[in-house]
Structure 1
Amino acid sequence: YIGGVMSPEMATPKLMWLKRNLPGTWNEAGYLFDLTDFLTWKATGSLARSQCTLTAKWTYLAHEETGWRRSFFEAVGLGDLFEHGNLPDKASPVGTDIGRLSAEAAAELGLTEKCRVGAGVIDAYAGALGVLGGFAGDETNIGRHLALIAGTSSCVMAMSPDPQPFAGVWGPYYGAGLPKLWLSEGGQSATGALLDHIIRWHGAGGEPDAAMHARIARRVAELRAVEGENLAGRLHVLPDFHGNRSPLADPHAVGVISGLTLDSSFDSLCKLYWRTAVGIALGVRHVLEALNENGYLIDTLHVTGGHTKNPLLMELYADATGCTVGEPLADEAGGA
């Protein structure tokens, strides 16, 4: 249920590193949390863990009566995880009431102790709930909808009433987003961060702030008005500068830029930026094709996060995937 390859972004590799490299810290640990569960512990004092975090990051099998495979942790040298991590036998379903806000947390937050705290979700999963939650009652058709939570990196999430396991995409995770639904998660490890990198790297670039991105987008629009869809057609960018998370699941993959010249003008930066954006959009199509080849029938893409502010990416997502693309009316629908 992890797509055939365990990513270093999962909890197990991080815990293995901690035990090997900081044995003193490991031996003194009394609790080990994902951020979501750490926050609910700080808010309530409860040691409950979310089904979202344990299933998506800690190899907890929420669909089975016994969710933990202790033999797996023994095999990788983490047999004492439950002693040091203080992990519960059962995960708490997303949104479950885990307790009142503590007096200390209430005072720090300026809230009342009457507030109830629910089991949380990982940041990108909050974004998926924000854009897909409206389809919770339509289990038959929810598999047509893909959430793209896109900022520094990008996550793509699809839900289905039936498990759809296959290599290269994380999951399927039971109940990690919506109750009784299976969630498959793909992604790109560097998207917004890659566009920032291109701006910093190019001689005509500089600080990749919002004004610079907007200036480049305007100039790209002007260049396209003249040169059409052939703009920088000999320039190709493979955007795997930080590995390929999905669907190749290769952390050692590298990026490629083909077609550079000695041109160091601002226009050359705009052309490289444009072709990098094309590569990012085609990466989303690559993930979507893998999903559709393995049981999904996705035709609608719901985008949230920083990319909704980039008109080039939003246009390219529609062109590259052939999907209907929707974006929230609000500035943000969730974490990205």
Structure 2
Amino acid sequence: MLIGAVDVGSARARAGLFTLDGRLIARASRGFATISGPDRQSMHEFAEIWQAVAEALAEARRQAGASPAQLRALSFDATCSLVVDAPGFTPDVIAWHDHRAIAEAAELSRIPHEVVARAGGSVSPEMQTPKLMWLRRHRPEIWAVLAGVRDLCDHLAFRATGIEARSLCAAAAKWAYLPDRGGWQDDLLVQAGIADFPRPEPVLPPGTQIGRLSQQGAAELGLERETLVAAGLIDAFAGALGAAPGIPALIAGTSNCVMAGGLAPRAALWGPYPGAILPGESVSEGGQSATGALLEQVRGLYPNPATHDEILARIAANPEPAPDLHVLPDIKGSRTPFADPLLRGAVHGLSLERSPDALDALYWRAAVGIALGTRQVVAHMGLVPAALAMAGGQARSVLLRQLYADATGIEIHWQPEDAVLRGTAIAAASPLVGGIGEARARFARPIQITRPDPAAGTRRERDWRIYLRMQQQRAEIAAM
């Protein structure tokens, strides 16, 4: 018996196969395109994403030597991208980082409502409500023929099963839905002019069984119809579920998110979201947009292609390149602490060199800036943790785990393999093992601990003072 997990990120679909005791036995990925448009638009084609999902699952099964009948349960996590199911709307997926709805987000932010308070008092254009407002206003002909409009993790499950259902994780975190206040906030939806979008029930907690694969879904995924599909999560929430339990989690992937429970609403902090991961628990999120995307952008500057692992290996052999190069990493605005989608980054000390050594230095100093931003997020959240559970693509690097420990002064706890896929596999296994709590316990892995290096403390404190000064200078320039 095997458990399947699919993680759809910003550019790749990844599939993992797990045993029922939580061992990852195969993992594969396939890429898909991002389509840029005017006015900060960024999109995908769902058909291409779905093909990447099917190919990744097939490759993972091939690696494991597993038959379709061995895969007993499946779940999906994804970025909080918006799938618009309507004839004539193409590309049909509005990417999570699409900022076309900045004006609508600002308009929503002026409405005194609990949904706005839980968005940190400033609704992000990355959330679904402003995107729906944009769609209603700018594409009324599409709005009139909407068959459905869903978070990407929900649409993946819908395509697999043919059954309408929404994940409570996505609904609470990205839509005008408050689980502890009756669900859909119709008063806000009416004010926003979007109360008539299709929103069929049910809204299901993560790990709740949706149903079995449809005939079409089974055929497209190369699986048997008996495979169960459970409600999934947004990718960062899946990472928090799969990371070391009991402590705040840092999900460091395309973006960075710090997830923690027990926090009240506050400015530039998203949440609390009751039940978004585990029943009876709330989670809040502070974040940095497009952190891993910044490292990927730097990687794209190299004259000869290099992987992130190759770049990091060179940096590890030549520690602390270019200490006088400093990077503010806000290339896609600031979620926390400034809640400003129009904020932009800055580089101090950039030269014209484009040698591999110079680009390695830029890559490393961008990583330092990102880690310092995480320190600022943790402080803004009011957290004083002894440890952070780290997950996401950046967590796989020993060098980056040490950097985050040194920059924040906090121990980094990491469960090897892949916490995001593991969190989604936990959701998939939940109907088979008696619930999401039991599944999480079964899937836990031994923790590796990275402690701050005292020798790096002086360097990082200097970097931190410069980081704050650059933010002050940026604000002074903007005021001019």
TM class by shorter chain equals 0.7 to 0.9
Q: Does 1:126 align with 2:238?
A: yes
Q: 1:101 aligns with which of 173, 190, 213?
A: 213
DSSP-derived class of the 2:364 partner: helix
- How many residues of Structure 1 are paired with residues of Structure 2 in the alignment? 306
**1: CA distance between counterparts of 2:277 and 2:177?**
14
Deviations 1:91-123, CA, capped at 9 Å, x for gaps? 222222222322332333343333332222112
Structure 1: give runs of 5+ residues left out of the alignment. 136-141
CA shift, 1:264, in A, is 4.1
**Could you tell me whether the CA contact under 8 Å between 1:238 and 1:256 is conserved in 2?**
yes
Q: Is 1:149 the equivalent of 2:246?
A: no
Residue 53 of structure 1 and its aligned partner are, at CA, apart by: 1.1
Change (3 A) 1:209 1:185: farther
For residue 207 of structure 1, report the CA deviation from its aligned partner.
5.5
Matched with 2:48 is none
- Map Cα deviations across residues 231-252 of structure 1 (whole Å, 9 max, x no partner): 5332211111111122211111
Deviations 1:248-270 (A, max 9, x none): 11111111001223444433222
Equivalent-residue separation in structure 2 for 1:43 and 1:200 (angstroms): 35
Q: Distance in 1 between matches of 2:354 and 2:147?
A: 55
Separation (CA, whole Å) in 1 of partners of 2:179 and 2:350: 49
Which of 195, 204, 207 lines up with 1:79 in the alignment?
A: 195
| Residue 384 of structure 2 corresponds to residue 272 of structure 1 | no
Partner of 1:329: 416
Correspondence 1:5 to 2:122: yes
Alpha carbons 1:199, 1:206 under 8 Å: kept: no
- Does residue 190 in structure 1 map to residue 190 in structure 2? no
Normalised to the residue count of structure 1, the TM-score between the two structures is 0.83
Alpha-carbon distance in structure 1 between the residues aligned to 2:219 and 2:165: 22
Amino acid at match of 1:8: P
Per the alignment, do residues 107 and 271 of structure 1 end up closer, same or farther by CA in structure 2, a change over 3 Å counting?
A: closer
Provide, for residues 132-175 of structure 1, a one-character-per-residue CA deviation record: whole Å limited to 9, x for no partner: 4xx3xxxxxx3xx1222222222221223xx4211111111000
Partner of 2:268: 168
* C-alpha distance in structure 1 between counterparts of 2:353 and 2:157, whole Å: 53
Q: Which residue of 2 aligns with 1:69?
A: 185
Q: Could you tell me whether the CA contact under 8 Å between 1:100 and 1:113 is conserved in 2?
A: yes
Distance 2:355 2:230 in 1: 53
State, as a whole percentage, how many aligned pairs show the same letter: 48
Residue matched to 1:181: 281
Quote how far apart the aligned CAs of 1:208 are.
5.5
Residue 35 of structure 1 deviates from its aligned partner by: 1.3
2:311 to 216, 238, 242: 216
1:69-96 superposed Cα distances (whole Å, 9 cap, x missing partner): 2111111121322xxx1333x6222222
| Cross-structure match for 1:249 | 339
Letter in 2 for 1:53: A
Over aligned residue pairs, what C-alpha RMSD do you find?
A: 2.2
The verdict on how the C-alpha distance between 1:312 and 1:326 changes in structure 2, with shifts beyond 3 A counting, is same
- Match 1:206 to one of 303, 306, 321: 303
Question: Who is 1:58 aligned against?
Answer: 175
Maintained 8 Å contact 2:235/2:420: no
What one-letter code is carried by the residue in structure 2 that aligns with 1:320? A
In structure 1, how many angstroms separate the alpha carbons of the residues matched to 2:337 and 2:306?
Answer: 30
CA distance in 2, matches of 1:309, 1:208: 20
Alpha-carbon distance in 2 for matches of 1:264, 1:110: 46
**Which has a greater percent of strand?**
2
Residues in 2 aligned to 1:324 and 1:15: alpha-carbon distance in whole angstroms: 41
1:196–1:208: 8 Å Cα contact kept in structure 2? no
Q: Deviations over 1:27-55 (max 9, x none)?
A: 01132211122122223332221111110
- Counterpart contact for 1:49–1:119, Cα < 8 Å: yes
If the length of structure 2 is used for normalisation, what is the TM-score? Answer: 0.60
Q: What residue identity is the alignment partner of 2:126?
A: E
Contact in 2 for aligned 1:200/1:207 (Cα 8 Å)? no
User: What is the 5 A alignment of 1:305-320?
Assistant: 305-320=392-407
Q: Does 1:39 align with 2:156?
A: yes
